[in-house]
Structure 1
Amino acid sequence: MSTTTYARMPGLRSRDAPRFKGKRILRFLAEYEFCATVAHLTSTQTIRQITRYCDTKSERFIESLHEYYEEDWDNFKSRLLEFYPSEEEKPYYKVDHLIKLVRKDQKLSSIEKFDNYIREFTVIATALEERKALSETD
């Protein structure tokens, strides 16, 4: 006889609880969906419990959505993402950000500091390259 055990959703004050304050919706939803899956919540339960992990302003907004009162998590999630575009989650870098980083008086006195510099440079440069915002001279 095998026993299936289910995890519970994290307590609201738990440091492991997902939290949504109106920003970084993709990260929040990934964490929340993981918790809901592990807890074996139904689609309806997943929708109804989401507001427990939101700030008051977000909770009010979510409860105003027609999809909140339906039983289709995917439909609810799609509707929610319409109001919180994921593009806002990526920082918008300009060439000036890269120039400022390079010109910044940095004391690269250890490999750790150099590695941090390279990571920061790579993040900004990659974002600029993706947008084709760098020229050959930059």
Structure 2
Amino acid sequence: MSSPKTLKVFTLICLLLLVACSQKRPVLYPNYHLQQVGDEAAQTEIDDCIRFAKEHGASSDSSGKVAKSTAGGGAVGAAGGAATGAVLGNVGRGAAAGAAGGAAVGLVRGLFRSREPDPVFRRFVEKCLREKGYEPIGWK
């Protein structure tokens, strides 16, 4: 059986991953056009603009950012761990522990940063929405 502490840690990790993986979407100013068509139609048109952007080469994929952040965190952690290990007398173990910790931090940081849409993708979707009569004011 799992201990309550293990279950809490697992639940926290799952929640962090769920939040980190959710994509941001445009937020629309409630102008006359939005009031006329309603939120449901506006959400459908946001989906259409996102699909249109992807079909024309503007990608919202941020997996490269996550991989780079994880690798960078691992390298920094390994260097810090090796330095600590050298002082405490076990360079190899310190480097391994530092690399694991650094990679974990880099992964989580990368997941949260990856929620930000690619700037070209973002501008593409916003232009599409403006052409349909909407006023995008940000992403959330």
Q: TM-score range by the shorter chain?
A: under 0.3
Structure 1 length as normaliser, TM-score? 0.25
Structure 2 length as normaliser, TM-score? 0.25
Q: Which structure has more strand as a fraction of its residues?
A: 2
Larger relative CO (CA 8 A, sep 6+): 1 or 2? 2
